[in-house]
Structure 1
Amino acid sequence: HNDQPAAARSGGPGPAPADAAVSAGADVGRAAPPPPNERRTVVLNLPLDVQAQPAPDGVPDPVPPVPQPDPVRPGRRAVAELAALLRAAERPVFVAGRGARSAGPVLRELGERTGALLATSAVANGLFHGEEFDLGISGGFSSPTTADLVRGADLVVGWGCTLNMWTMRHGTLIGDGARVVQVDVEDAALGANRPIDLGVLGDVAETASALLEELGEPVRGYRSPEVAGRIARQGRWADVETPDLSTATAIDPRVLSRELDRRLPAERVVAIDSGNFMGYPSAYLSVPDERGFCFTQAFQSVGLGLATAIGAALAQPGRLPVLGTGDGGLLMAAAELETVVRLGLPLVVVVYDDAAYGAEVHHFGPSGADTSTVTFPDTDLAAVARGYGFNGAVVRTVADLDALDEWLAGPRSGPFLIDAKIADDGGSWWLAEAFKGH
């Protein structure tokens, strides 16, 4: 007998049992987090005998609606203090996180009023897509230009963003003398990862709206034609010139990612698995908005990407779903390739195939560790996928991507898998950042 409630609590989610079919709806209602602004996962436990029970006639809606909490309004003093910091700042930068994903329009307006450059954490990627002063992702996936501009800020404001070690590169993206502010609906999040000069307890949209009322005329801030030109020229990794590591049998992952970004339709939803490869699709594949990027890296678990991509494809059928994964992660989840085919999803699976768990090879290999258990024989993963019903191609050169073009131009009658044999990058740039201090 497994103590499932105890297992759920150990990982953070709260357990909630359903005791009978007749009460299942009420049980689900009770499972909803009661505090108005508490955000947590709930594990609904359905015993086998309950699953087998027929739903009785006359039962109302099985799942009662969960009341939405009123947005937390910031205190007047906190708004006034943040407004004063914004007026005094010459180079403000906004970093929006998961908690700001529904506040894009008002943050754009506030950025224009204050002259702030706009960046996001990885999970909010795409929130400011199309803005002239959009820096993209702040953190390990930042281009050199983005990192330099964030580091040059004299005021960093985290909007629904915890400013953790990934987003701030262990704090190195916060320049000397820069003031740091956090806006969040959870008091415990304020200053949780680094010292801050001001914590504002409040909903992001409510706080930004209050600031628009508090502030006066627009100021130039960090925005200038020179900064706009730097962002336009090299704000994205796709615009940064890098050496081509490609060989006759392996393609540079940066070259591959640039080509994919150019060839795939702009209306896309990109899901990312975990591994050494993950910075390439994250940094190179642009997305149309914050709903175009699925970044599920809890515990950095390898193998969750395919299931994430299936969910994203079902949730947004009007967009082309794209999965970036490594060969190790794909092999962990290969059984779900059948699910993709059965559901008829036009999913493009891009496998960054280095015949290894690359993070382990590059992190532990140089210290003399035995990496034989984390390296694999070269495998034709496209052939494996075809066995499930996919279309597929092995890609070793840019020319091999013509098969993708043909699929995109056709009826897309089944999903497509690219087994990209990537050249050795010596450990990706984001991995070097991630392991600093470890």
Structure 2
Amino acid sequence: MIRVYDRLAQVAAQERPGTCFALLGDANMNFAVRLGALGCPMIHVRHEHCAVAAAMAHARKTGGVGFATVTCGPGLTQLMTALPAAARAGIPLVVLAGEAPLRQAWYNQAIDQAPFVTATGAAYHAAHWPARMPTVLRDAFLQARQERRPVVVGMPFDLQNQTWEGTEDLLAPSRDLLPDLAPIPPHPNDLARAAALIDGAERLVVMAGLGAVEAGAGPACAALAERCGGLLATTLPARGLFHDDPFCIGIAGGFSTDTARDCFGQADLIVSVGCSLARHNADGGALWPQARVLQVDVSPRSLSQGRVASDAHLRADARLGAEALAGAVARRDGWRSAALADRIATAPADGSVQPQSPDLHDPRDVVAALEAALPRDWQLVNSSGHCSYYTAQMPSRPQHRFLTIREFGAIGNGLSFALGVAAACPEDRVVLFDGDGSLLMHVQELETALRHDLNILIVVLNDGAYGSEIHKLRAEGLPEEGAFFGRTDLAAIARGFGAQGRTLDDLAAVPGLVANWAATGGTAVWDVPVNDRILSPVMRRAHPPKAAH
């Protein structure tokens, strides 16, 4: 005799999610226990939000479907920040959520869960017929794959606990139902128009996004840029795709370096390959004021996030489109030069003069020390918030070793993302860059990392504040008490959990500390006190100080 939850566990295990991130309650614990018994690796977190955030990073790192399970009511409502982040980032994700028992007239955790979920951009399916529950769960994985967004399945736990009475074989997994589609080549007429546009440009930048990464279009993009004498760039999520190319100017968007902003300002054509052309990617339209945009994508569009983002289009798979363009355009020198390559290689990302303090680090110096010392094959995770500009400026790191998910603008996700990456890459060392305010939001997950023996080093740029808010308040000339809290001793907190904890007062110690952690592994926190008076270029542009009245 088996229960419905046994059958559901069999369906989930057959989907091979890699890892299930879970927080147990009455409405999902039987399922989760059975899933773990079937051999699915389980990460049991301390907060439901962190289960979904970790599953997001796991899906992004593996290219599969993230999987999490939570209980009903408060377990479900805790997901309201993670779900829109996953939806906006286009991350396929399935959440098995319990629902209140149907047989009871009243249940204290009962709530209409569907409106909460659908408001985030995710899909919700209520499975209220035991014989259909396995199909609903399997189809959720298929929908997540095809629509690239989160799908939540709600299942009343009294129905999950019923005896399974089905006699049919286990359903085929969702991967067997996916259409086997070949990449889309460009139409000859569209290709000719796009090639003519490129041939007429003098200063071209080929910009690649996650669509180019997934299509394996990196070499084709590099070949196209080289043939046209153009430069290379990436969106923030794709940063590092051209890390070893001397004519890659790095990230396109708010995180662009000084050199990149100068080059984009001179560009007359941006060839966008596999990019969604989000507002931040173009810095709200200010990054390339003189350039037209040619979008190469399987589903090109003109409007993106409330602005006209592209005015010329080539419908094609990213790799096939870039390869076809490279073969169709004329070869020329363009604006490549030895002097420009040297500037790209040697100029600081942010060369501004900033106020210094003898007792506090300049975050730019911190990142330079880490860039020099951290091994190239370690997995790096960049969180959100003011400090994330600095830690994105590590040009030697390849894309497959660096993860950032920022589409919803929420802080507090860094440690969860690191959990997901560590589960996806169990043989690798994982380094998380985070801010103090962000880490403290879900610092309880240090215990999760320790309990699961994960190798995660957390480098905290500690400015004693919510960095973005403190700089905005100062720019407005307003009191800062609600955003400046003082420097919490994060190293002591880490030691209290049983992790390694160290306050980093001297950057000269970084190489030795890296070598020590490489030997020991485990969970560690480096608390790095940074100067709260140093502003990132993003903040300086968006919030210049207002004139005194």
**Shared fold per TM-score greater than 0.5:** yes
Answer yes or no: is 1:416 the counterpart of 2:541.
no
Of residues 274, 280, 283, the one that matches 2:393 is: 283
CA distance 1:202–1:28, change in 2 (3 Å): farther
Q: Could you report, residue by residue, the CA deviation over 1:367-395 in whole angstroms, capped at 9, with x for unpaired residues?
A: 24343222223321011111222112112
The answer to whether the 8 A contact 2:205-2:269 is kept is yes
Whether 2:291 is the aligned partner of 1:182: answer: no
1:93 aligns with 2:202: no
Farther-moved stretch of structure 1 (383-392 vs 70-79): 70-79
Deviation at 1:61?
Answer: 5.4
Equivalent residue, structure 2, for 1:210: 324
1:372 alignment partner, SS class: coil
1:51-70 equivalence runs, <5 A: 52=161, 59-60=169-170, 63-65=173-175, 66-68=177-179, 69-70=181-182
TM-score by length of 2: 0.72
Residues 230 and 418 of structure 1: CA distance in aligned 2, closer, same or farther (over 3 Å): same
Q: Specify which of 362, 368, 374 is matched with residue 258 of structure 1.
A: 368
What is the CA–CA distance in structure 1 between the aligned matches of 2:255 and 2:308, rounded to whole Å? 20
Tell me, yes or no, if structure 1 residue 162 matches structure 2 residue 276: yes
Counting only pairs closer than 5 Å after superposition, residues 17-28 of structure 1 correspond to structure 2 as: 17-19=126-128, 23-28=132-137
Cα distance in 1 for partners of 2:420, 2:356 equals 33
- Matched with 2:339 is 226
The alignment of Structure 1 onto Structure 2 pairs a total of residues equal to: 430
**3-state SS of paired residue (1:338):** helix
> For the aligned residues, what is the CA RMSD?
2.8
SS at match of 2:520: coil
Counterpart Cα distance in 1 of 2:476 and 2:300: 42
Amino acid at match of 1:427: L
Give the conservation status (yes or no) of the 8 Å contact 2:415–2:439. yes
Q: For the Cα contact (< 8 Å) 2:246–2:341, is it kept in 1?
A: yes
Q: Please tell me whether the aligned partners of residues 302 and 311 of structure 2 are also in contact (alpha carbons under 8 angstroms).
A: no
- Could you tell me how far apart the structure 1 residues matched to 2:422 and 2:431 are? 9
From 119, 131, 143, the counterpart of 1:10: 119
Match of 2:33 in 1: none
1:141-194 Cα deviation digits (max 9, x unpaired): 221111111221121111122333322222222143x22211222344656632
Partner secondary structure for residue 153 of structure 2: strand
Preserved contact between residue 273 and residue 324 of structure 1 (Cα < 8 Å): yes
Residue among 341, 344, 356 paired with 2:450: 341
Give runs of aligned pairs for residues 290-301 of structure 1, distance below 5 A.
290-301=399-410
Paired amino acid for 1:377: G
Match for 1:5: what amino acid? A
Cα distance in 2 for residues equivalent to 1:187 and 1:3 = 37
Compute the displacement of 1:109 (Å): 2.1
Q: CA deviation at 1:332?
A: 0.5
Q: Normalising by structure 1, report the TM-score.
A: 0.88
Pairing partner for 1:108 from 193, 213, 222:
222
- Structure 2 contact 362–534 (Cα < 8 Å) conserved: no
2:246 paired residue among 128, 132, 137: 132
Question: 1:341, CA displacement in angstroms?
Answer: 1.1
Query: Which secondary structure state, in structure 1, belongs to the residue aligned with residue 458 of structure 2?
Result: strand
Q: Deviations over 1:183-214 (max 9, x none)?
A: 22234465663253312233212212332343
SS at match of 1:408: helix
| Structure 2 residue matching 1:12: 3-state secondary structure | coil
SS of aligned partner of 2:502: strand
Alignment partners' CA distance in 2, 1:189 and 1:27: 36
1:202–1:378 CA distance, 2 compared to 1 (3 A): same
2:191 corresponds to 1:79: yes
Q: Distance in 1 between matches of 2:329 and 2:261?
A: 28
Deviations along 1:81-121, one digit per CA (max 9) or x if unpaired, are 11111122221101112222122122222222222211011
Identity of aligned pairs, percent?
34
Displacement of 1:19 in angstroms is 4.2
- Partner residue in 2 for 1:270: 380
Counterpart of 2:153, as a letter, is L
Distance, in Å, in 2 between the alignment partners of 1:319 and 1:4 is: 38
Whether the aligned pair in 2 keeps the contact of 1:362 and 1:426 (CA below 8 Å) is: no
Task: Note the C-alpha offset of 1:355.
Answer: 1.1
Q: Does the CA contact (< 8 Å) of 1:182 and 1:190 recur in 2? A: no
Which amino acid is the alignment partner of residue 272 of structure 1? N
Give ranges in structure 2 of 5+ residues lacking alignment.
1-109, 545-549
C-alpha distance in 2 between matches for 1:95 and 1:143: 15
| Deviation string, structure 1 residues 251-295 (Cα, Å, up to 9, x no partner) | 11111111111111111222122211110111136422x222221
Does the CA contact (< 8 Å) of 2:142 and 2:178 recur in 1? no
Q: Determine whether 1:367 maps to 2:476.
A: yes
Larger CA deviation: 125-134 vs 45-54: 45-54
Moved more, 77-86 or 222-231: 222-231
Q: Give the SS at the match of 1:45.
A: strand
Aligned residue for 1:300, secondary structure, equals: coil
Distance 2:496 2:469 in 1: 29
How big is each residue's C-alpha offset from its partner over 1:119-138, in whole Å with a ceiling of 9 and x where there is no partner? 01101111112112111111
Q: Distance in 2 between matches of 1:188 and 1:4?
A: 33
Whether the aligned pair in 1 keeps the contact of 2:356 and 2:362 (CA below 8 Å) is yes
Judge conservation of contact 1:25–1:64 (CA < 8 Å) in 2: no
